Structure 1
Amino acid sequence: MQDAPLLFDRPALRLRRARAARDPALFIQEAVADEVQEELIEVNRTFTAPAVVTGWPTVWANRLPDATVVADDETLALEVGAHDLVIHHFALHWANDPVGQLVQARRALRPDGLLIATLFGGQTLQELRSALAEAESRIQGGLSPRVAPMGEIRDLGGLLQRAGFAMPVADGGAFNVSYTSALHLMRDLRGMGETNVMTARQRRATRADVLRLAAQIYHDSFADSDGRIPATFEVVTLTGWAPDDSQPKPLRPGSATHRLADVLGTDESKLDPTQD
Structure 2
Amino acid sequence: MSDDTPDLRRVFDRALIARRRGRAASTLPDADFLLTEATQAIAERLAVVLRDFPRAVCLGAQDGRLARALADDRRIGTVISTESCPAMLAGLPHPRLAADEEILPFAAASLDLVVAPLSLHWVNDLPGTLAQIRRALRPDGLFLAVLFGGGTLRELRGSLLQAEADLVGGASLRIDPFLDVRDAGGLLQRAGFALPVADTEILTVRYADPLRLLADLRAMGWTNALAGRSRRPLRRDVLAHALEIYAERHHDPDGRIRASFEFVHLSGWAPHESQQQPLRPGTARMRLAEALGTREQPAGDKAGGADR
TM range (shorter): over 0.9
TM-score by length of 1: 0.92
Secondary structure of the residue aligned to 1:93 is: coil
Gaps of 5+ in 1: none
The one-letter code sitting in structure 1 at the alignment partner of 2:183 is: D
The one-letter code sitting in structure 1 at the alignment partner of 2:44 is: E
What is the aligned counterpart of 1:199 among 227, 231, 240?
Answer: 227
Listed as ranges, the matches of 1:49-88 within 5 Å are 49-54=55-60, 56-65=62-71, 66-71=78-83, 72-88=100-116
Residue in structure 1 matched with residue 92 of structure 2 by the alignment:
none
Say whether the 8 Å CA contact 1:57–1:69 is kept in structure 2. no
Q: In the superposition, relative to structure 1, how do residues 128 and 83 fare at CA in structure 2: closer, same or farther (>3 Å)?
A: same
Residue in structure 2 matched with residue 91 of structure 1 by the alignment:
119
Matched, 1:12 2:16: yes
Q: In the superposition, relative to structure 1, how do residues 262 and 158 fare at CA in structure 2: closer, same or farther (>3 Å)?
A: closer
Residue in structure 1 matched with residue 166 of structure 2 by the alignment:
138
CA RMSD of aligned residues (A): 2.0
Q: Kindly state the Cα deviation for residue 92 of structure 1 after the two structures are TM-superposed.
A: 1.8
TM-score by length of 2: 0.83
Q: Residue deviations 1:55-99, cap 9 Å, x none?
A: 514232421234111234320122321111101221221010000
Considering Cα pairs closer than 8 Å and 6+ residues apart, tell me whether 1 or 2 has the greater RCO.
Answer: 1
C-alpha distance in structure 1 between counterparts of 2:43 and 2:282, whole Å: 41
C-alpha distance in structure 1 between counterparts of 2:264 and 2:290, whole Å: 41
What is the aligned counterpart of 1:177 among 205, 212, 224?
Answer: 205
The one-letter code sitting in structure 1 at the alignment partner of 2:53 is: F
C-alpha distance in structure 1 between counterparts of 2:231 and 2:291, whole Å: 66
Q: In the superposition, relative to structure 1, how do residues 256 and 185 fare at CA in structure 2: closer, same or farther (>3 Å)?
A: same
Q: Kindly state the Cα deviation for residue 265 of structure 1 after the two structures are TM-superposed.
A: 8.1
Richer in helix (by share): 1
C-alpha distance in structure 2 between counterparts of 1:6 and 1:253, whole Å: 42
Aligned length: 273
C-alpha distance in structure 2 between counterparts of 1:84 and 1:231, whole Å: 36
Gaps of 5+ in 2: 72-77, 84-99, 304-308
C-alpha distance in structure 2 between counterparts of 1:262 and 1:126, whole Å: 45
The alignment-based identity, stated in percent, is 46
Q: Which moved more, 1:222-231 or 1:57-66?
A: 57-66
Residue in structure 1 matched with residue 135 of structure 2 by the alignment:
107
